[in-house]
Structure formats: C-alpha cells, structure tokens
A and B are shown apart, each in its own frame.
Chain A
Amino acid sequence: MSSTSSPLSPAGQAVRLAPEQRYADELARLAAADQAGRPTGWRLSPSAVRRFILGDPALAVSRKFYGDDPLVDRAIVTLMGHQGLMLVGEPGTAKSLLSELLAAAISGDSGLTVQGTAGTTEDHIKYSWNYALLLAEGPSQRALVPSPIYQAMRAGKLVRFEEITRCPPEIQDVLISLMSDKQLMVPELGDDARLFAQRGFNVIATANLRDRGVHEMSSALKRRFNFETVRPIRDHDFEVELVMAQLQRELADGEAKVEVPRDVVALLVTAFQELRAGQTQDGAAIKRLDAVMSTAEAVNVAYAAALQARHFNGGELTPREIAGQLHGVVLKDSSDDAKRVRHYFDTVVRERGKRDAQWKQFHEAARTLWQ
C-alpha cells in the first residue's frame, strides 16, 4: 500500500502502524530542529536520520535500533550514494525494522514495499496494467498500474525490497538495469517513454543468505549494493531490557493485569541466547538449534506465556508458562531440535535448578512437557 492511494481501512484501529505514523511527532520535532544540509529528495538531514533511529534525548526522540551504531551510520551514508543498501543477517535481527525506519525518516514513507516471494514477477517490480482500461483505451498512463518501485522512482523516495533472495534469480536481476541506469522504459507507451528516477530514489533490500528456500544472488546484482550484516543482540542485560519493554507495550491494552517478574524474562533470554549461540554462559559448548531464536521470537514466547498466565494461571508469569510456550518456537522444522532442547534441559537447566528456584521450576515444567 502506498501513501498516494487512499487507505482501505481506518488507521486508528490498525494492529500495527507504519513508523512514520507512529513516530510522526518525533519526525516533526527533528525536522523543525534540523539545521544541517539535506541531500536532494531527503526529508531530513543525515544526522537527523541518525538521531531518529539511535535516539536523541534532547528532542525526546526514542532509540529504535540497538546494538550496532556504526552500522546505522554506514547505512545512512550508503543511501546517499548510487549503491543500494542490502541488509543481511539471520531472521529476526530487525533488518526489516531498520529498513522501515530509514525509509520513514528519509522519504517520510515506509509503505513503498515489494515483498519478495517465489511468486514475485517482473510486473511486481516494474508495472502492470489495469486490463479493463487497457482494453477500453489501449496503453495509456491512466491504464498503467505502477509498482512500488515505479512510484518511488517517480517521487524520488526510498523503496524497500523485502526478502529479495526469495525471488527467483531472473526476477532479482530485473533490478540490475533499474539500479544502474536509474530509469525505467515503458515501451508500450511509445519508443521514448521512459521514467527517470528522481533524486532521493534508492533501494533498501533485506535478504537472508542462509535460510531454507532462498536463491543465490548474481554477482552483478551484488555489485549494485553495499552489504551490511545485522547481528543478533549479544548483550544479555540489554536484551532483557528490550524484551521487557516490548512485552509491556504489547500487554498495555489488556483488561486484566499480569505480573511479569524481571528474573523470569532474564531466564528466557538466557535460554534463547545459549541455544542461539551454541554456548552456555559458562562457556560450555552445547548443540545449536536450527530454529530461529531471535529476540522477536523471545518476545513472542514471553507474550504468549504472559497471556496464558493472565487468563489461565493466576496472573503471574512463571517459568512454567515459558517452558510450555517454548515448544511452539522450537518445534518448527527440525526434529533434531527437540532432542537438542531436551538435552539442554537435562544438563544445563537441571544443573542450574539445583541452585536456583526459578530454573528448578523451569526444569520441572519442561520435564512433563518434553519427555
């Protein structure tokens, strides 16, 4: 959905607002205070974009992306140049979030998005036709249905290409000429019908290079992008903080209260970090899971467990609910993962349970569930 068309449903009740709507006041404050020069086509100066994403206490702008500040610098600067920006990394590392934030801050519009799937066609990338009009009037500007990329080129905005590696390689390669020539031919409208990209146009792509069901990228396409690798958060306390904050936000509108003790969330984050890294906090090597153990998944588990606690078990989140919800995350595609988690419970969790009541509870709950 692009901002130029009218919304199909009222935004007020939306499950999730686009960042430019959610942080409209922050963007307005930053724009008002922005003294530095703006590249043509940009809504904000590069340093204001940086402050929008990394926070600016002076203007009451919250921090929205954590963990790697230089990466944000590099991403902003890349978007000022001719190269596109390619965000790669494991699932759930907030690649899409970062690309949305960049688009919202730079173009004021994060809605110009192509979702890459196995079924993405050239039409989704260039343009297609309103066939009723096409039949009635022949090829005309009116009958042409522009793709998000078409719209972004015309308006000089950023376009986001999500999960680009899920598209077949020949579809990915349609981007190559668009990105190097910065123009789009529409032969149906005449020999010299071409759309020149306006300044401010660029592409932010996100990709997963190692997931299942993804395609290789051609080197020609790779050369058109600067790559940035987004990593999972490694700092334990910080991740706990993040999960707590997001959980509070998600639970805020509920009618019944639920207690979320910090040490239960800390336990969840510890388990996630250990299973993600294949190493315990004490440095012992354990089996890594195939399943994605991202921060986002941790929030999902905590949220589901909190709901369970609220509606079915007494209103306080305990390791018992966490252990139950862990099932759904782990048992996705690899049957070996169940074995690995069981081993994790039998060794690491059990050992900790001898010293810590929370871990003991975690272990006992898991024993009935996982054996």
Chain B
Amino acid sequence: MAVGDDATTAVALPETVAEARAHLFGEHELYFVPIRHHSPACAFALRHLLREVRPAAVLVEGPDDLEHLLPLLRDERTRTPVALLCQTTRKAGGSDASGEEKPGQEVRSSFFPFCDYSPEWIAVREGAALGAQVALIDLPWRSKAWLRGDGDDEAARSQMEERHLAHSRYLGAMAARLGCVDHNELWDRLFELRDADLLKDWRSFFGDVFAWCAMARLDYEPEVLEAEASLPRERHMAGHLRRWRQSVQGPIVVVTGGFHTSEILARWAQAEPVTPGGNGNEETGAWLIRYSFERLDALNGYAAGMPSPDYYQRVWEQFEREVPHPDPNSPFASVAIDCLTRFAQATRAGDQVDAASTASVQAAAVQAQRLAVLRGHAGPGRQDLLDAIRSCFIKGAADEGTRGFNAELRRFLGGTRIGDVPPSAGSPPLLEDARRLARAAGVRLDDSTPRQVRLDLYRKPRHRERSRYFHAMAYLDAGLAKCTSGPDFLGNSRLNLLLEEWQAAWSPLVEARLIELAADGASVEAVCLAKLRREEAALAQEGRGRSAGAAVMLLLRACLIGLHARLPQLFAMLAAHLDEDASLASVVNCGHRLMTLWRSREPLGVQQHPQLLALLERCWPAALFLLPDLGHGDESAEEGAVRQLLSLRELARLLAGLASEDGVAAIEQTPFWAQLDRFASDIAISPAVSGAAAALLYLDGQWDERSFELALRQRFAPGATPRDAVRYLGGVTAAAPELLLRLPELLRSLDDFLTTWDEASFIAHLPDLRQSLTRLRPQESAQLAERVAELHGLGQGDALLTFHHDVSEADLREGSALQEQLRQALLRSGLAAWLQEPA
C-alpha cells in the first residue's frame, strides 16, 4: 500500500488543488517541484527527477542577489552543513561622518542553511553536475520586503513556511485523524517513511507534497500572505520563471517551498519578466559560512526546517547507498538500531544513573519496529524511535528527573556536526584571523561541543597567549569561551589562583558574531582596540573622563586581552587622569588596581613597563592631596569616608612593602599622619572619621596609649551627645575592633558613659551600638561580655550572660518602656518609696 494514498484520499481534495496537481510536470517543459526544506525524502526524489528530466535550467528559491555565491556551494571542498549568511545594517539613529558605529545601529543577520539532504543543495549540486544553468529566483535580499519583519528573529524565510505548516488547521486535523502527535510526525508518516522505490516515483511523491502544502495554504487570507511578503516573493519568482522560459530551450525545474508552488504555477504565464538584480558584483554583505547541526535542529527553537538533523543525516546516508536489500525497510531499521546502540553507549559513557543495558537496546529495537507496524509506517521513523527509547530506557515516572534525559536525547539526535567552506569563500578577514588564532589556541574548528581548557598563566607563555585570546573573544562577546575559574584581575578577587579554566567551543554563532564585528577592523586585535577606544570615548562623554578608577580598568582590560601595544597611551591617559581626578575613592581604587597589576605583572605581561611603578608612586601624593576633604562630609557619607581612609592606609602599607622589596622610593608617611592627627583632634570633623583616625594613629605608633585615652575621654565625657559618641565609637571599631579588648581604658570610659544615658537614648542608639560591636568576632564578643561583667562585679556565668531565647528583642523593648511608664506614674503619685529595692 502506498502510504501517500492517505494524504490524498483520507480527505477529498478541493477541485482547484486536484486540478493544479495535474499541471505540475511537463507543460511548457516546466517541472514544478514543491519541497519541504531539509527533507531527505524530497531531496532523494528530486535527485531522481533531475536525472530523468536532465533540465537545461534549475531555478531555486533563494535571493537572486546571492547568485555570486553559487560557485562556492558547488565547490568540491564545501562540506555541509553550511549556510548563506546575509547581513544588513539598519540605521535606527543615524551615524556621524566618521562612520563610527553608534548604539542606534542594528545589524540584522539571516541564514539560509544547507545540509546534505536539503533539496536546494541537491538542486544546486546535481543540477550543475548535469550541466544545467542554476539560478536563484527569490526577491533580492536587500529588498524592502525582507526588512519589514520584526527584527528580533533571524528571519530565514524557511521559518515562515514552517510556521505555516505548524499552524495549518487542515494539517492539524489530519494529524489528529491519523493519530499523529503533530504535523512533523504526520509529514514523517506520509512522506519521509516511504521506501526508496516509492520515492523514485517522483511524480506521485511530489504530487502528494503539493497537495499537502496547498491544503495548508487554504487557511490563509491573501491579505496575510501579502503582508508577510509571501505574495510579493511569489510574483518575483513567477517573473523570473517567465524570463527563463522565454530565453532558454529545454526543460526547466523549479524548486521552491511547497507552500509557494501553487501560486507560481498559477501566475507565471502572465507575470512580468524579471531581470536579475543589477547589483550582482556589489558587496552585498553575504557570505557562505560554516553551519552546525545544533543550529539546524528546529526543536532547539530555530525552526529552520526539520528536527533532529543528525538522525536524518543518517537516514539520508542509508538512502544514498542505494544497495538493493531484501528488506525494503532496511534504511530506517538500520538507522534506528544504530541510533539506539550509540545512544545506549552514550548513556553508559556519561555514567548516568539509568544507563541502558544491551537488553534495553534489544527491547527498544523490537519496540520501535512494532510501533512502526502498528502505526502503518514503512519502517521505524523518528517518532517510533523516540517512543521506543522513552518506553524502554526510562525506568520510572517521567517527571522533572527525566528532563535531563530528554534534553540529552534531543541533543543526541540533533548532532554536533559542523560544515566546512573552501578558503576562497572569502569570509571577512576578521573571521580568518580569529580562526587562525583559535587553531593556534587549540580550539577545534570542526566540533561545537564545549571543551574544558586549563591554562597555566604563570609558568607557560603559550598558555598566556591562549588566555589573552580567550579574554579578547570574551571581551568581544563572541561566545567562544567562558571563564569558569581563575584569577579575576578586573574584579580584584581570587588572585591567589594560578590556573585559569575555560569552556571553549567554536560554533557558527561565533562566526556570525565576528561577521557582525567585521566592520570594526580586520583582526581580532584591531576590533578589540576599536571597542576599547569607544569605551575611552564613552568615559569622556559620560563626564567620567577624569576618573582614574575607570581609566585603570581599561588599562587592566588591555593587559588581559593582549593589547600591549596600546599600553603607552593608556598609561599616559591614566597619568593625566590621576592629576585631575577629584575623587579620593577613585584615586585609592586606582592605586589598588595598579598594585594588582604590579603583583600580577608576569601573567599580565607588564614587566617591561617602568611607567607602572612611576604611576604607583604618583598615586600616593595624589591621594594625600585629596585627603583633607574627607572629614567634611555629612553623616550619610561617613561610612564611605571611613572605608576610604582604611583603604588608603592599606595602600600605604602595600606601597611601603613594595619599597622594601622592589627598590621603589619609600613613600613619605609623615603628611598622612599629620592629616590623621588633624582629623582626630578637630571637633568639627565628622566623629566617625575622627574615631578611625585616632585608632589608626594609635595602631601606627604615632599616638601613645595616653593620648588615645585622652581623646577617648573627651569624646565620652559627660555632656557629650550620645549620637556623636556612638558615631565616634563606630569609627574606632571600623579601624580596629580589637582595641575594645586591648585597651581597658576604652572599655571603661565607654561603660561609664553608657551609665549616664537614660533609658530612652539607650534604646534610640542601640542599633548603632550593636553595629559597631558586630565587627568583633564571636569569640571576641564573648570575651568583651566577660570583661563588662567583671567591670560590674558579676562573676562568670552570672545573670548577664544568661538570656532568654523566648523573649524577643521587641518584647524586651516594650517591657522596658512599660516599666519606665510605671516608674513615672509611681513618681507622679508620690510613691517613690515603692521603687526602693528592699534592703
């Protein structure tokens, strides 16, 4: 039984469709071939058609301004999957005269993919081999019709047709009738799962495809088709066909998506002849690029054709052998068994919990075969295979736990193959450069599986080179590599790590991104430099042009990605910014970053730059110059000010260390201490800064214990405002929390001071007090509590140290407020005597 009969007899065809179907082949020596993109069955039948018809010309649905790329498709060295990539730049805002890219500019990329079993691929290759003229007949890529769409998808035209098929009510109803999950399974059942002999009967095969697509088309209104550019495209194709028919003798084969065939067939005889777009030699922004199965897999969301390309590739390879076999189902059965075995091996190799045994593989093979019989398939198809795997490999409920398994299965059937294009494909020079560097960095260009790379930054110069390449590509957002572990020089963390780990994979996405960037320059280095310069310019525009902190980041970035040629300019820029920067935080930050650079000078490759040390030396006076302003901020800025002060002192410590080790001129600390002294003694300075300054002076040995105690007593003396005192304490503990334990005098004066507070102000300042004490480690807090207990004559483990977990802080506060009210009430009533503790 011809399975295809279902398609045409299950539901009676409208007369128009049946009528058109009769005119597909031979009239005016025209052969209309309706196809579904990336269908092995269509490709196979088309090949037989071409060999039988031996056409003079083959016209293929594809933008006619891409015709100059056809020789590349025919090139022997081209290996699928490949794609034609078109790019157009849309100017949203408009660019300035210098031609520099503006944020408003938007590059749109579109792909026209080919794989071994794409009918278009067969049309181009086989047509050329048979000596036919091959031409593309669709609207030029630059035509406005293409650009009207919403710009966020890749807008490959095949997607549009797939959408038509997926949304067709007719196909949906038919799938339901025949018990298929969706239109993909329906297609498989009706078309893909025909054995080779049936496919060789291309007349009835393409007749059925035509009916299938024509029925799907009936759901659409002409206005919709006009708006989404289907009708304009069909008019264009019909026009091309008219011209070809007028100018060429002999058979012409027209290969288009089945969705369009009926319209072209009906229209071509009256169409206005179209001449090919005049801009054939002009730079169209189109290339033949390598593509991957991953991208082809419609289930991954790209919707460029049929799902599971690797599976269909195997089916196609079986078809191609064309060896006569006693079992007509052999291509599908052998692919199914092959897939099952390899998938089971993959589950075992992946050390998965439910690895599939040989028994499961056998069971699944039988299951797939029987499902095919039950469903009336010519052999176990993709859906049968999926169902068999689902039945036999998963032992347990299908739930969240099996999601990983399903993803694995989808990836497995999708495959990771990447194509190749001849060197003459003329990819943009940037791409060539990136590829050369990738090869040098040991990235495989023919496989898109991410691989783990470990780089020894400190000991191996070659690894350092690779790291710079990866960083450069990451900087360009090319999607080549992701750093999973290693020192973070930009974020100033994990600097103790010696190894860098990357996940790297070359994928068509990388190429697409690089092609987008191609306008910026001809090499990775040039493009990085362009981006860096844009960022420099952006800094200036944002009004942060004089920020040393921001400038030093650019410097670090340049070192990281290997733009060392740019360093002199960046150093000079940084030096200028350092002099002009008005923010202490930025200058101190800059100092710390430069320290990072100095300490990591080997992996970052800046040993040879004397400017670095000179700059480091200049940070200190620049910071000292800005220091006096620190004490005049208001209370909200206080915390930041204290942090800057401490950061500056840390920098001083590091610089001093540097002086002893590396022979750098020792920094002058005296002005720093003098300034601290002013901070500590001046009452007008914000109390936290004063506190921190006093503590630092004491720590640095500039103040002896007595001076410090004197200062403390002033701050905690009776009459001092509790608010300022708490702020002061906060400053001290931020700088040196351990002083609370080391200096009994500090504790005593604080304690004395606290006893002078009334209940209300204690409660009001409690949060700040607590915050200052949180800087102590838990053990230190316990020690402190003991000291306080001793101070109040309580022994260890006495009442002070016991507390009630069942009473919350809020309860306690409410309770004391209540007690205070009660006390006031008693006093008012003249009952003060009641308040006396009984003797």
Contacts and interface: CB of A to CB of B under 8 A. Distances in A.
A227 B354 CA distance: 13
B396 interface: yes
B229 interface: no
A227 B394 contact: yes
Nearest to B386: A70
A222 B396 contact: yes
12 contacts: A46-B370, A50-B374, A70-B387, A73-B179, A77-B367, A77-B370, A82-B363, A210-B397, A227-B396, A228-B391, A229-B397, A229-B398
Given A73-B371, A77-B367, 19 more contacts: A46-B373, A50-B179, A70-B383, A70-B387, A73-B375, A74-B388, A74-B391, A77-B370, A81-B367, A83-B392, A89-B397, A209-B396, A209-B397, A210-B397, A219-B395, A222-B395, A222-B396, A226-B367, A227-B394
Contact of A223 (B366, B387, B395): B395
A70 to B, nearest CB: 6
Nearest to B387: A74
Contacts of A225: 395
A120 B370 CA distance: 35
A47 B392 contact: no
A80 interface: yes
B394 A76 contact: no
Nearest to A45: B374
Contacts of B370: 46, 77, 80-81
A69 B181 contact: yes
Interface string B375-401: 110000001000110111011111100
B363 A74 contact: no
A82 B392 CA distance: 11
Contact of A78 (B367, B396, B399): B367
A47 B391 CA distance: 18
Contacts of B367: 74, 77-78, 81, 226
A225 B360 CA distance: 10
Interface of A: 46-47, 50, 54, 69-70, 73-74, 76-78, 80-83, 88-89, 209-210, 219, 222-223, 225-229
Given A80-B370, A81-B367, A73 B387 contact: yes
A83 B388 CA distance: 12
B391 A227 contact: yes
Given A81-B363, A82-B363, A229-B399, A69 B391 contact: no
A73 B396 contact: no
B392 A226 contact: yes
A79 to B, nearest CB: 10
Contacts of B395: 219, 222-223, 225, 227
Nearest to A51: B179
> Nearest 4 A-B pairs (CB), nearest first?
A229-B398, A222-B395, A77-B370, A226-B391
A268 to B, nearest CB: 26
Nearest to A69: B179
Nearest to A83: B363
A66 B800 CA distance: 71
Contacts of A82: 363
State the main secondary structure of chain A at its contact with B: helix
A89 B396 CA distance: 10
Nearest to A77: B370
Nearest to A47: B374
A176 to B, nearest CB: 14
Contacts of B396: 88, 209, 222, 227
Contacts of B359: 223
Interface in B376-435: 376, 383, 387-388, 390-392, 394-399
Contacts of B388: 74
Interface of B: 179, 181, 357, 359, 363, 366-367, 370-371, 373-376, 383, 387-388, 390-392, 394-399
Contacts of B390: 74
Nearest to B364: A226
Contacts of B373: 46
B647 to A, nearest CB: 44
Contacts of B397: 88-89, 209-210, 227, 229
Contacts of B383: 70
B181 A70 contact: yes
Contact of A54 (B179, B363, B392, B399): B179
A81 B395 CA distance: 16
A225 B395 CA distance: 8
Contacts of A74: 367, 371, 387-388, 390-391
Contacts of B376: 47
Nearest to A49: B374
A114 B641 CA distance: 78
A81 B214 CA distance: 41
A193 B144 CA distance: 85
A93 to B, nearest CB: 11
B363 A77 contact: no
Nearest to B180: A69
A76 B179 CA distance: 14
A73 B394 contact: no
Contact of B374 (A46, A222, A223): A46
A46 B375 CA distance: 10
A212 to B, nearest CB: 16
A110 to B, nearest CB: 21
A58 B416 CA distance: 46
B374 A76 contact: yes
A20 B811 CA distance: 71
A50 B383 CA distance: 17
A81 B375 contact: no
Contacts of A76: 374
B333 to A, nearest CB: 15
Contacts of B399: 229
Contact of B366 (A50, A81, A210): A81
Contacts of A219: 395
Contacts of B398: 227, 229
Contacts of B387: 70, 73-74
A230 to B, nearest CB: 9
A69 B373 CA distance: 16
Nearest to B372: A77
Nearest to B179: A69
Which residue of B363, B373, B374, B387 has the most chain A CB atoms within 10 A of its CB atom?
A: B374
A46 B374 CA distance: 6
Contacts of A210: 397
A78 B392 CA distance: 9
Contacts of A89: 397
Given A225-B395, A226-B363, A77 B371 contact: yes
A54 B397 CA distance: 23
A180 B396 CA distance: 19
Contacts of B181: 69-70
Nearest to B374: A46
A182 to B, nearest CB: 15
A83 B363 CA distance: 8
A77 B390 CA distance: 13
Nearest to B368: A77
B478 to A, nearest CB: 35
A73 B363 contact: no
Nearest to B390: A74
Which residue of A73, A77, A78, A226 has the most chain B CB atoms within 10 A of its CB atom?
A: A77
Which residue of A54, A70, A88, A219 has the most chain B CB atoms within 10 A of its CB atom?
A: A70
Contacts of B371: 73-74, 77
A77 B392 contact: no
A76 B366 CA distance: 13
Contacts of A69: 179, 181
Contacts of A46: 370, 373-374
Contacts of A78: 367, 391
Contacts of B357: 223
Nearest to B398: A229
A83 B360 CA distance: 10
A27 to B, nearest CB: 18
B346 to A, nearest CB: 20
A370 to B, nearest CB: 31
A104 to B, nearest CB: 18
